[in-house]
Structure 1
């Protein structure tokens, strides 16, 4: 029995939507613990606001985009946008690595998962549709 690229892509998108939603929920329920695990110390209203924007807002946006891409059938553009959002995070960490070094611990594992998931989405693009909507 063969498994289609489209089915695999849909499954991966659903897993990403679930994982991003759960990450956002964890950040909402215990921001101090999640921030500490990421090496962030939250100070004042602005610190918490920025944390919620990135770790709740962006994670929920990625989850919704992944879910939309999974439900919308064979629309490579939505999948590519999901991959772009996922890959932007390790790309930013790579820029930071030149200035201060690579992330460590949990954040390095998160970075590896983001990189693997984003590259997997790109690898599962429909054949013959490179750079086409």
Structure 2
């Protein structure tokens, strides 16, 4: 069986597609059963404002991340699109780190999600095209 070696760009493109799929599926799950999804994240939704805020974050931001990751996965996409996708992913564990100082680290499923976000975001930055500080 022949080994297939992917270039950095191909690996980054595949990771971006995986981020797009995962973000889309998370948004879909949040839309289909918001109360169950929220409970898994340790949230309890109350009133119109609670649901509105939940949909803004867990549907709107996730779908925006998915779209951005999909656009960034194109072979001719500027590297900065992948960088912004990485920043969207890394902003979540960064916020949880701030919360950890006040109330502690997340646990269970949310800790695993945090680990995946951190790994994906850092991997996207590590796979950034070499020698390109700024994209045109």
TM-score (norm 2): 0.94
Residue segments in structure 2 that go unaligned for 5+ positions in a row: none
Residue 69 of structure 1 pairs with residue 72 of structure 2:
yes
Structure 1 match to 2:19: 16
Q: What stretches of structure 1 move > 3 A for 4+ residues in a row?
A: none
Change (3 A) 1:9 1:120: same
Check conservation: 2:9, 2:127, Cα contact below 8 A. Answer: yes
Q: C-alpha root-mean-square deviation of aligned residues, in Å?
A: 0.9
SS in structure 2 opposite 1:61? helix
Aligned pairs, how many? Answer: 132
Aligned pairs for 1:1-133 (under 5 A) are 1-71=4-74, 73-129=76-132, 131-133=133-135
TM-score (norm 1): 0.96
CA distance in 2, matches of 1:52, 1:75: 29
CA distance in 2, matches of 1:50, 1:132: 34
CA distance in 2, matches of 1:126, 1:55: 30
